[in-house]
Amino acid sequence: MASVIKVFKTLRSHWKKSTFAAVAGCYGVYYLNNKHNENLIRREYCKLAWEYGQHSIRATEKVKKVTVFLNPAAKNGKAVKQFEKNAAPILHLAGLSVEILKSTHEGHVKDQVAALGATDYILVVGGDGTLAEVITGLLRRSDEESCSNWPIGVIPVGVTNTLARLLYTDSTNEVRWMCSAAFALVKGETVPIDVMAIKDAEERTTFAVNHLRWSSFDDAKQTTTKYWYFGPLKHRMAFVFHTLSQNWPNAVSVNALYTGPKDIPLPPPPPVVHSIWTRMYWRLFGRPEEKPSEEEESDIVVPRLEKASKTMELVLATNQLQEKDGKKFLSLTSGPEELFRVDFITEGWRRLNSHDMESCKLSFEKEIVGDVDIYPDISKDETEWYTIDSERFEAGPVSVTLLPNKLKFFYQPRNSESESSNLEIQR
């Protein structure tokens, strides 16, 4: 009893040191518990991948090849470590052949995709920008019709992972999110994804799967590094100082011509398999010439509607996995013409913590469109910028074409049962 009293007297006499030790101890326990739980998640997915890898294949069947495009600069330079800890073991245990291509500079991924040979799957380790480079490089190839059939997976290690939030469940836990994304490739379930083909005035085409946006909020985010001396508050202060700039409010006049939603393209018909007797007859007497199918050329001109507005934010976004009357569409959204400074700062701070636009309190006008031509009214002395899938492009007239169901992406169905129960192997 005396020793217990002595301990309490010591704690009371040195309460500052005791408080610091208690806080440090609690944090240490919390940190170790998180690490233990993360290891349990990795072990769970590795076990499932190992079970998949135990299934035998035919002697004539090749091992599936995965080409990984990895951006080492993503996640503040931690992308390689995160991939090696959370995704690579799952791919190897599943018996896949993995080839890793690391990018070294901006635009390098496009060149790597352009020179890519035969592969079975593509895996993108990065954020929205890296994914956009892969898709642009893929669809700029001369053989893009066949290459667009390569299924694509995404390991979300970027700052923004817009498409990954839609494709893979449980984005609240980063380790489970990355493991789930890797295991989705192992399972092989895919879903068609729409693509926007964005052509500028110089006939250069960029491809995107998320959005094209002109926004004062994006302009404010670009100035974050100028306020580094505010430390963790620099992101918030960027919105504050943006309202004090000389060109506030920097609204832009935009004229848009657009069509309605587009029909979903039908899948190509299966190839006709002729009998052996027919092929033998053709071999002896020659195959008759097939008449080319005469496609009926439609003289119908698709009407275009016009929308003119002056706005502080214009967003053209895809609506993945959604249809309207059996058709695919884009959303053309224009924000208010001007905002009070307090409203602008409040909305900017909200966007730092949430990607959900449904909770936005600003008023927006929304149109359901197909193809769009955008003509911003920008003076020659000014330079404005679009944000296309988190990458900055100089603003100007652009023609946006919707390509419905153009690519296939691996995904994790939200209504599926837990992977740990009754795992179905899909070949």
> What's the residue count for the chain?
427
Fold matches, 33-189 and 207-264+300-405: no
- pLDDT for the residue numbered 22: 80
The single residue listed with the structure tokens 């679009």 is: 386
| Angstrom distance (rounded) from CA 365 to CA 332 | 8
* 260 CB burial (10 A radius; 0-12, 13-18, 19+): middle
What CATH architecture does domain 33-189 belong to?
Answer: 3-Layer(aba) Sandwich (3.40)
Start-to-end CA span in the chain (Å): 69
**pLDDT for res 421:** 40
- 207-264+300-405 has CATH 2.60.200.40 classification: yes
pLDDT of residue 276: 82
Q: Which residue type is seen at 290? A: E
Is the pTM above the cut of 0.75?
Answer: yes
Q: Give the model's pLDDT for residue 419.
A: 46
Beta-carbon count within 10 A of 281 CB: 13
At 228 the pLDDT is 92
Which conformational region is residue 390 in: left (phi greater than 0), alpha (psi within -120 to 50 degrees), or beta?
A: left
Structural domain boundaries in the chain: 33-189, 207-264+300-405
pLDDT along the chain (427 residues), means of 10: 70 71 85 90 93 85 92 89 93 93 90 90 92 93 89 91 85 87 92 93 91 90 91 92 82 88 78 79 77 51 76 90 88 88 90 72 84 87 85 91 93 60 40
The residue assigned the tokens 């299934």 is 55
The values of phi and psi at residue 184, to 5°, are -60, -35
